[in-house]
Chains A and B, each alone.
Chain A
């Protein structure tokens, strides 16, 4: 078996014994975690449990204190790894959208394609328009972020990440900053992505989404993975006391 095909078989994300400290505050205390290719994994847990930090470590927006993180078999904690290249394969969606306010929608979607993927302008526009259509905003390509609702902004942010043709998508509480009536549109786009077979890691408080769309649910608390398994098991019949206590508050 060649090395290339080994990588094809590797999990999309594989985290081994990951620790992360902020000063003396231990946020992640030895996490083992993986996401298989094509799998949708939802990470739930109380705030401060370290779930966002775990997600941000996967594309090294946070520097791990110790442990290894393999993305498609490539060790991203290795200083020799070309992070920028790896990051083009990992789409990221933020709680606060983080669209570029000085660029219109099309500009937001084409900038990184041209700067990081070295695509020509025409090709970048084609890809951008296709993804805008996918998130249902084909008619807003000239709008500026400030002219869009929160839900529209988040869908543009998803289209922006998709325009890099990533192998997997990370979602960091994508609906937490939205007004309740706007949550549905964003979840619908995410559901559609999952149906198309996209590999997804979703940190979320949307238990309905985790139950219906997730292949696996991971419950974190206090910087460790407490319990994980099929959504109906973890959400419907939790074994650990901390999982039960958390679910009784949010369900």
Chain B
């Protein structure tokens, strides 16, 4: 057999397997059950408008708060980890290793229930607010490592050039190193943002008032209420509507950054 014939034959087999698999799924799936349980039009339309005005809105608000909080705390930790003062480095290292090593769900649970009871602390926004603080604390640990790596990726010559022009360490960091680090960390931080959007679903464990519900909590309540899984599909759709444009936007930003480099 000629090599070209063998290649064509092999590719034909791959296509055949694919078509067989699709046919099997189509023929074997219980379309009636899927439609009534997951794609019930009445239940679906019942989700609106609250799924947007309350649930999706809260998901976005929680994400933004957690991201900005995590970014500020993460930047502080990254600078501490690069500090010439050893105790700052120790504290940052312990913090980062601790919170990257723990499940976010456990930290949220601890902040929402254990810490308020132990210290007689009334968290702002109730248990959901406490959960959000936990999310900030966890995401800061991840972002700190990303930011530190970004700062260290700026070539040493940049810092040397700035210092040799007489700029002090503070201005060197703010005007020369950080602006370049921002470009380096934009893609990984966006991943962080997308992960955070999905991690706001963990807040369901904190328990929420009706007006505080984010998408996952909202969908869970819907599933119980209608004894039907369609609310989950609606919530999934909302998540995708939020996350997909975001990843597209970042791809475009990166391209623009690369051009100006």
Contacts and interface: CB of A to CB of B under 8 A. Distances in A.
Contacts of B179: 102
Contacts of A157: 161
Given A100-B176, A115-B171, A59 B164 contact: yes
A87 B163 contact: yes
A90 interface: yes
Interface of A: 59, 61, 84-88, 90, 92, 94, 96, 98-102, 111-112, 115-117, 144, 146, 157, 160-161, 164
A61 B164 contact: yes
B166 A87 contact: yes
Given A112-B165, A115-B175, A146-B261, 8 more contacts: A84-B163, A86-B166, A98-B157, A100-B162, A102-B183, A112-B166, A116-B168, A144-B261
7 contacts: A59-B164, A88-B166, A98-B161, A99-B161, A100-B180, A111-B175, A160-B165
Contact of B163 (A61, A102, A146, A160): A61
Given A100-B161, A101-B180, A116 B171 contact: yes
Question: Which of B158, B164, B168 neighbours the largest number of chain A CB atoms within 10 Å of its CB?
Answer: B164
A17 B14 CA distance: 75
A144 B260 contact: yes
Interface of B: 155, 157-158, 160-168, 171, 175-176, 179-180, 183, 260-261
A88 B165 contact: yes
B165 A164 contact: yes
Contact of B161 (A85, A88, A94, A116): A94
B135 to A, nearest CB: 31
A59 B162 CA distance: 12
Contact of B157 (A87, A94, A160): A94
Nearest to B258: A146
A111 B180 CA distance: 15
A96 B157 contact: yes
A171 to B, nearest CB: 12
Given A100-B176, A101-B261, A102-B180, A115 B161 contact: no
A100 B160 contact: no
Given A98-B160, A98-B161, A102-B180, A116 B167 contact: yes
A86 B260 CA distance: 34
A94 B164 CA distance: 10
A88 B157 CA distance: 17
Contacts of A100: 158, 161-162, 176, 180
Contacts of B183: 102
B166 A98 contact: no
Nearest to B172: A115
A102 B260 CA distance: 8
Contacts of A116: 165-168, 171
A146 to B, nearest CB: 5
B166 A164 contact: yes
